[in-house]
Amino acid sequence: MHTRRSFLRSSSSIALGFSGLRSLTANDAKSRAARGYGPLLSDPEKILDLPKGFSYEIIGRAGEAMSDGLFLPGSPDGMAAFPGKGNEVILVRNHEINPGASSSSGPFGKGNKKMNLVGKDRFYDPGDKSPCLGGTSTFVYDTKAKTVVRQFLSLTGTLRNCAGGPTPWNSWITCEETVVGAGGNLVRDHGWCFDVPATDQPALADPVPLKAMGRFNHEAVAVDPETGDVFETEDRHEGLIYRFVPKVKGKLAEGGKLFALKVKGKPSLDTRNWSENTFSVGDSKEIEWIEMKDVESPRDDLRIRGFKDGAACFARGEGMWYSKGSIFIACTNGGKKQRGQIWKLTHNKIELYAEPNDADLVDNCDNLTVAPWGDLILCEDGKGDQFLDVITPQGKIFKLAKNAKSSGEFAGACFSPDGSTLFVNMQREGLTLAITGPWKEKS
């Protein structure tokens, strides 16, 4: 491991203005170092390295029995937290399970022997011979007692539920990161979003695909609470940023219109900065929206048609989170070095918020969230060691946590409504963690 990675392990932070993110050498890093929460300490359990004063609880393990008699599925991914009763928090969690996955990774156990506990009408795609095993689970967590009150399956019969986003109407929109069509074992097309109510009692959501929101390689969504419009990312090297305007606010199944982001005066702009620098950090450009046609896209060409019509393309749009009038967007392999970009969308403008171009700062950001105090928390999905990164509103970047078990990605970072607990998934390990500590005590 080279010098800068070693340095970051010991210092856990880099302090810089966003202009400094454009180019940063090892010497720059050392001269601008700030402590953040302090160095990461080695976890004797070899699960999660954290700064002094922080601790974690494992609150979910793939394969464990749930309250509804089923098993917690594997590959936990995107997630969001909602207020519950008293000290309770309701969390809805995705499971990114592929077509043809082993039954042991799903909720029904080996050989899907517990399928009889779920009515066939509760599956979006029951399959020809075996069901699709993706979907969501919900768990209720007591932040004071630090215990799981109950957990249960909340959507089933979908595939590759990667990310999504919370809504103001107290639900989680879960997104399929696939456009696989009916055929073979599959009896229905995939590539949709689904609305899953955040409830504290065991219940399976109606598996209604939100087809007007488009069929593409979905990743995350963010909802504007004022308008009810839903913004969407697309995990493709030349993906678009979409905006769904529903006919009725909060009732997405009733349909609406889908639009794609266009940079005003710059049709078909390539924002990725791979071969040409079209955006510098801090640049803000006016945008407009072009209406999309044939949004169910049976040929998976929505992004191609949109770009041809003038929409801007982005490098693997993944995480997306609404905060105080703005939406933050992670593009996993954007930037000159393809290490990731962070965008900030505010009303009719889009800004390149960060482009580190250095894997030691941020290594391919994926899911993200915004802390109640304004920090961005980024989940890495790159090569080698994987970290939770922090970007403060002042432009400091530092490490919050490290996967001490493997090079598997972090996913689903989100805070409890009271800001006391950060929840996150370790996808490869099949673990959900609750992290607590002195959140306000950083330097």
pLDDT in tens, 269-311: 999 999 999 999 999 999 999 999 999 999 999 999 999 999 9
**What is the tens place of the pLDDT at every residue in 187-214?**
999 999 999 999 999 999 999 999 999 9
The pLDDT of residue 325 is 97
Residue 331's pLDDT band, with cuts at 50, 70 and 90, is: very high
The pLDDT of residue 439 is 96
Amino acid code (one letter) for 199: T
- Contact between 87 and 115 under an 8 Å Cβ cutoff? The reply is no
Claim: this prediction has a pTM higher than 0.75: yes
Is 266 part of a structural domain of the chain? no
Q: Which residue has the higher pLDDT, 429 or 15?
A: 429
Residue 147's pLDDT band, with cuts at 50, 70 and 90, is: very high
Is 139 part of a structural domain of the chain? yes
Q: Can you count the helices (H) and strands (E) in the chain?
A: 3, 27
Distance, in Å, from the CA atom of 104 to the CA atom of 76, rounded to the nearest integer, reads 14
pLDDT score of 18 more than 90: no
The pLDDT of residue 184 is 96
Is 411 part of a structural domain of the chain? no
Q: Where are the beta strands (DSSP E) in 128-237?
A: 134-142, 147-158, 161-166, 171-176, 193-197, 218-223, 230-234
Burial class (CB in 10 A: 0-12, 13-18, 19+), 1: exposed
Residue 69 φ/ψ region, left for φ over 0, alpha for ψ in the -120 to 50 degree band, beta for the rest: left
Q: Which residue has the higher pLDDT, 292 or 1?
A: 292
**What is the tens place of the pLDDT at every residue in 106-127?**
999 999 999 999 999 999 999 9
Is 86 part of a structural domain of the chain? yes
Is 227 part of a structural domain of the chain? no
Q: Which domain holds residue 121?
A: 65-209
**What is the tens place of the pLDDT at every residue in 415-425?**
999 999 999 99
User: Tokens 């900065």 label which residue?
Assistant: 273
pLDDT score of 33 more than 60: no
Distance, in Å, from the CA atom of 430 to the CA atom of 73, rounded to the nearest integer, reads 8
Q: Structural domain tally of the chain?
A: 1
Distances from the Cα of 17 to the Cαs of 31, 332, 377, 393, in angstroms? 13, 21, 17, 9
The pLDDT of residue 12 is 30
The pLDDT of residue 442 is 82
- Contact between 67 and 179 under an 8 Å Cβ cutoff? The reply is no
Is 165 part of a structural domain of the chain? yes
Is 90 part of a structural domain of the chain? yes
Residue 1's pLDDT band, with cuts at 50, 70 and 90, is: very low
Backbone angles phi, psi at 350, to 5 degrees: -125, 135
Is 363 part of a structural domain of the chain? no
First CA to last CA distance, the chain: 27
Distance, in Å, from the CA atom of 297 to the CA atom of 130, rounded to the nearest integer, reads 26
The pLDDT of residue 27 is 34
Distance, in Å, from the CA atom of 45 to the CA atom of 405, rounded to the nearest integer, reads 9
Instruction: Give Rg (Cα) of the chain.
Output: 21
Amino acid code (one letter) for 273: N
The pLDDT of residue 26 is 34
